[in-house]
Amino acid sequence: MTVPWAADRPYLSVVAPLYNESENVTPLIAWILEALGQYAKPFEVILVDDGSRDDTWSKVVAGAAGDSRIRGIRLARNAGQTAAMMAGFDHAQGQVIVSLDGDLQNDPRDIEALVTRLEEGYDLVCGWRQRRQDKLLLRKVPSWVANRLIRRLTGVPITDNGCSLKAYRRDLLDRISLYAEQHRFIPALSASVGARIAEMPVRHHARRFGESKYGISRTVKVLVDLLTLKMITTFHSRPLVGFLVATLLPLAVALAFGICWLVALTQFGPEKAHAMVFPGAAALSLGTAFYLFMLGLVAEVALSNERESATATPTAWESK
């Protein structure tokens, strides 16, 4: 996946995933070049066409033709935003990488400020969209709820997890592998590998061309993904601990039904308390607790098989 490193390697790589953004490609390139016109260090722009069905790719090719700083990657099929971002990251040559949306809603004029902030000693700087220009009920409310949940669950104090405009150090991206739809959880995943994270306000614009690729249906999916996130950030080195914590609930339920049974026995005597409902319910709950414990062991087995590669020796963030 690595591209041969040229001698005059760019310092900054700007990565933008594009999916059916035909009308936005050319203005986006122009805007980024204009915003970085005064930027002192060499930079590159990587446009990732995520299997678009319109003529996004030919616009990318046209944009790249006149300027060696513009590079395009075309994915064989629509692989989703996370995979498209990963494709961009894998091809980026810079030490500093900035991701932004391909729909002109992020403002490239914020790139320099993010990079400056990163250079102050952070591994990840997240944009925080000010005066967000999206539909209230469909976009803003679900996003507000999701952000609160992510904050509570992971303890990473980022206000706007969904903003694509972010700056990363190469070191950080080498440490996290994003898959499925994890681009929303980059701050939490980065924190779990020890990254120093900052957040700063960025501008946000209303969509000019094309359609939004999101809907409210994803909220339920985000909830399921949050459970996964908790598991892999908090318990990924000791899944058994996570599963043991989870056994507490069925154990408590089993205990409650056991007490019900005892009360029935002592109050009404054995002949009236012959119904097997309470002991049955207690046994089911106890069985579930036992099952979760066993699952935790299976997870440990899976982990031990991969341990060497998964938890490679934790290296220091900075060594001098």
Partner 1 sequence: MTAKGVVIHPEDHPAAATPLTSDRMISVIVPVVERVDDLAALYREFAAELERRGEEFEFLFVFDGGFAPSPELAALVEESDRIHMHLFSQRFGETAALRLGIARSRGDLLVTLPAYFQVRAEGINPLIDAVADGAELVVANRSPRLDSWLNRLQSRAFHQILGGIAENPFHDIACGVRVMPRRVAESLPLYGDMHRFLPALAAREGYRVSEVAVPQHPNDARVRVYGPGVYFRRLLDIATFFFLAKFTEKPLRFFGMVGSVSLAIGAVLGIYLLVDRLAGHAISNRPLLLLSVLLAALGVQLMGLGLVGEIIVHLRAPHRRAYRVRDRV
- The string of DSSP letters for 145-162 reads HHHHHHHHHH----S-TT
Sheet holding 124-129, edge to edge: 43-49, 12-18, 96-99, 166-169, 124-129, 197-202
Binding mask 261-280 for partner 1 (x = CB under 8 A): ---x--------x-x-xx-x
Q: In this structure, are residues 115 and 12 in contact, taking their beta carbons and an 8 Å threshold?
A: yes
Residue 287 is a binding residue for partner 1 (CB under 8 A): yes
Nearer to partner 1 among residue 86 and residue 118 (C-beta): 86
- List binders of partner 1 among 11-70 (CB under 8 A): 51, 57, 60-61, 64-65
Pick the binder of partner 1 from 2, 38, 217, 309 (CB under 8 A).
309
Residue 237 is a binding residue for partner 1 (CB under 8 A): no
Residue 255 is a binding residue for partner 1 (CB under 8 A): no
Binders of partner 1: how many residues, by CB under 8 A?
A: 67
Mode of pairing for the β-strands spanning 124-129 and 166-169: antiparallel
The interface region with partner 1, picked from 8-16, 147-155, 208-216, 220-228 by CB under 8 A, is 220-228
Q: In this structure, are residues 5 and 42 in contact, taking their beta carbons and an 8 Å threshold?
A: no
Rounded distance, CA 86 to CA 189, Å? Answer: 14
Residue 82 is a binding residue for partner 1 (CB under 8 A): yes
Rounded distance, CA 74 to CA 69, Å? Answer: 17
What are the backbone dihedrals phi and psi of residue 48, each rounded to the nearest 5 degrees, phi first?
A: -105, 115
Residue 183 is a binding residue for partner 1 (CB under 8 A): no
In single-letter form, the type of residue at position 219 comes to T
Summarize as ranges the residues that interact with partner 1 (CB under 8 A).
1, 51, 57, 60-61, 64-65, 71-80, 82-84, 86-87, 90-91, 177-181, 221, 224-225, 227-228, 231-232, 236, 239, 242-243, 246, 249-250, 253, 257, 260, 264, 273, 275, 277-278, 280-281, 284-285, 287-288, 291-292, 295, 298-299, 302-303, 306, 309-310
